[in-house]
Structure 1
Amino acid sequence: MAVEKAEPVQKRTRTKRSPIGAPPGTLIADPTAPQPALTLTGVAADSSMLFENASLETVRHCRAEWPLVWIDCVGLGNVDLIRELGTIFGLHPLALEDTVNTSQRPKADFYDDHAYVVMRMIDHPTSRRWEQISVFFGDNFVITFQERAGDPFAPVRKRIEATLPNRLRTRKADYLAYALIDAIVDSYFGPIETIGDQIDHIEDEMLAGPRKHHLRDLHLLRREVVALKRALWPLRDALAALTRADAPYIHRETAVYFNDTLDHSVRLIDAVDTDRELLTELLDTHNSLSQARVSEVISILTIVSSIFIPLTFLAGIWGMNFDPQASPWNMPELEWSYGYPAALAFMLFVALALLGYFKWRKWL
């Protein structure tokens, strides 16, 4: 079965950082960032309610009415709205600054009444398009900030909307935060498995015969694997910090689930390391096969040249303009009636003799 060729890893545009010397917590939006849209979900043990394009007033009202609220902010182009959300939920200014500056290393920070987790997310599995996602959660709220639309949260939303009670509706905000983080981590499995299939496909084609496009495909896959490794290694540390956190808003039973997500990240890192080693070996194999092919071509050309060198020498000898009438030593065979076919037969004999010698020496 044919495997799709690797898509080039899309370059990430870095957002504008705070000016040098600016006070901590200064928020500066990327001018190209989309305007934020709030999706609010109120969660209770026996019901849930979804509010599309929610306003800040709706946020304040639902926070007072629902035991658990999840606010999904898509777009980071309005720092005033982000700052107001931070005021409503008491989010730390430094964490909000890291949310707007979308070039952060995955990490987990803990404050008195809430935690902040920043991750890299693949929001489009086919093209492997990256974005930063920030997750805030406290005792009764979860807030996610995305750069643009597209996320792996559909299964979580379906579980919240389910009619039967489940853990997402009966437990605290830390379990909902776990479900969202776990969905992000699990979203890596598909692209990594696709990369593995592409590596196997390229390996099979290379064994049949290396092609020029294989080298390009291998380098593109290697770039993707490096990007995955850069996202997963610090993510593992962030998840480990969540499992060890001694915070009142992270309960002991939820820490067990965070530990399971940590195991998933370790499996992903192992798979990425394996793919990287395979790519390195395939690049070396491609170079070796290419060099062997060049050596084979050079050997064939050398053998052909070795055969034609004596033939060219003979043709040159018989092509000299000596007059046999002037002297009996001046190539008398030129007057022989069978001289031309005899010369061709002799050159054919020389060529066949050289071919037999090369085969006897196992050079062919």
Structure 2
Amino acid sequence: MAYFNKHYHSPGTAPGTLVAIQKPVTPVTIKLIDYTESSVEELQPASARDCRPFLDRQSKTWIQVNGHIDPDTLRDFGELFDLHDLALEDIINSGQRPKIELYDDQIFIIATLPVYDGQNLEMVQVSLFVGKNYLICFCPLANDPFEPVRKRMRQPNNRRFADRGIDYLLYALMDFIIDAGFPVLEQFGGQLEALEEELLERPSQKTLASLHELKRELLTLRRVLWPQRELITTLMRGEDELILANTLVYFRDCYDHSIQIIELLESFRDMATSMLDIYLSSISQRTNETMRVLTIIATIFIPLTFVVGVYGMNFDHPGSPWSMPELGWYYGYPMVWGAMILIVLGLLWFFKRRHWI
């Protein structure tokens, strides 16, 4: 994962400039759901202009735009729905911080959907425009991540979308985005458990690399989830007339979920930090154990080296009172070996008594 993943125009560019920063990777697809109290109609418009007839209806319309949108298509949506130029620029320049902008007759929201496949963590920017009877959602993913919400809308006995305003659809999408953090953190929790077992049994450089990578991903997730909680707080206040009073209780539930995710995330970050300290202590302990064994071996061989050094001098001069008498002993060689063995045993007993081994 790159440290800096925000796309931006060159400094000095005029505000509201719609120029593609990155080459489109996935083609744009548009899905439209128009629903009333008695019906749900699903279409796949070919362009933004095909959505124009639904603006004159009294129904509620959800327009889902998937894929990397090009400036021309985005400009068409902006002209059709009177979207602010700065908001459109934020869609082109992906990697924005989660935020909410309240306009006269619209709400613009940037949220971040965490997607984790077990190896790579991807932070997907989701941009939403909420009007009186419509909601437009821009998502760069090729596959529509909000299909579970769409499935709930198709259920004939589900009256919540039909009986409430467009703000309830906004809640459903925001709730999906926030709750997407739970399965991501569940996978992180499994990785932490595996790393903890590996840390206690056989820590290695691979363990350290995995810990650093996990801490980095948790930090990235934290950088996104904290401002997203502030976003939900703003919606809970009901400062905009598009957010009705009977929907505020659902946003409060969404806020509770965001708090749970943040608390779980902070716990995982603390666990990863403590595991890193345990790894460093374990490596230091292993180094100390190794040095202790080597020191004991060196200490044992110091007197032996002295003994063999003395008897390796071979000073033997006939008639000299300073010659080495042991060189002429019949049992001199086995006696030296016996003395060295006694020295080794004595040192081992001494080390054992001092609890050094």
Q: Does 1:297 align with 2:290?
A: yes
Of 243, 255, 266, the residue aligned with 1:262 is 255
Q: Aligned to 2:110, what secondary structure does the other structure show? A: strand
CA change 1:264–1:238 in 2 (3 A) is: same
Could you tell me the percent identity over the aligned residues? 39
1:27 Cα offset (Å):
1.5
Letter in 1 for 2:24: A
1:269-288 equivalences in 2 (<5 Å): 269-288=262-281
1:203-352 equivalences in 2 (<5 Å): 203-325=196-318, 327-352=320-345
Give the alignment's TM-score, normalised by structure 2: 0.93
Question: Could you report, residue by residue, the CA deviation over 1:114-134 in whole angstroms, capped at 9, with x for unpaired residues?
Answer: 101101112454432222111
Of 167, 173, 181, the residue aligned with 1:174 is 167
Given that residues 38 and 72 in structure 1 are in contact (C-alpha distance below 8 angstroms), is that contact kept between their aligned partners in structure 2?
yes
Alpha-carbon distance in 2 for matches of 1:280, 1:359 = 37
Q: Aligned to 2:323, what secondary structure does the other structure show? A: coil
CA change 1:267–1:287 in 2 (3 A) is: same
Letter in 2 for 1:350: I
CA change 1:94–1:15 in 2 (3 A) is: same
1:351 Cα offset (Å):
0.6
Letter in 2 for 1:171: R
Q: Does 1:190 align with 2:183?
A: yes
Give the alignment's TM-score, normalised by structure 1: 0.92
The match for 1:32 is 23
The match for 1:87 is 79
Alpha-carbon distance in 2 for matches of 1:158, 1:260 = 21
CA change 1:260–1:222 in 2 (3 A) is: same
Given that residues 33 and 147 in structure 1 are in contact (C-alpha distance below 8 angstroms), is that contact kept between their aligned partners in structure 2?
no
Q: Aligned to 2:55, what secondary structure does the other structure show? A: helix
Given that residues 229 and 258 in structure 2 are in contact (C-alpha distance below 8 angstroms), is that contact kept between their aligned partners in structure 1?
yes
CA change 1:72–1:12 in 2 (3 A) is: farther
Letter in 2 for 1:188: G
Gap runs ≥5 in structure 2: none
Q: Aligned to 1:194, what secondary structure does the other structure show? A: helix
Of 114, 124, 132, the residue aligned with 2:125 is 132
The match for 1:4 is none
Given that residues 314 and 327 in structure 2 are in contact (C-alpha distance below 8 angstroms), is that contact kept between their aligned partners in structure 1?
no
Letter in 1 for 2:23: T
1:106 Cα offset (Å):
0.6
1:321 Cα offset (Å):
2.7
The match for 2:93 is 101
Segments of 4+ in structure 1 off by > 3 A? 9-14, 62-66, 123-127
Letter in 2 for 1:30: I
Q: Give the number of the structure with larger relative contact order, counting CA–CA contacts within 8 Å between residues 6 or more apart.
A: 1
Q: Does 1:59 align with 2:59?
A: no
Given that residues 236 and 266 in structure 1 are in contact (C-alpha distance below 8 angstroms), is that contact kept between their aligned partners in structure 2?
yes
Q: Does 1:15 align with 2:4?
A: no
* Range moving further from structure 2, 322-331 or 42-51: 322-331
Residues paired across the two proteins, number: 355
Letter in 2 for 1:85: F
Given that residues 222 and 262 in structure 2 are in contact (C-alpha distance below 8 angstroms), is that contact kept between their aligned partners in structure 1?
yes
The match for 1:75 is 67
The match for 1:162 is 155
1:109-128 equivalences in 2 (<5 Å): 109-126=101-118, 127-128=120-121
Gap runs ≥5 in structure 1: 1-8
1:95 Cα offset (Å):
1.3
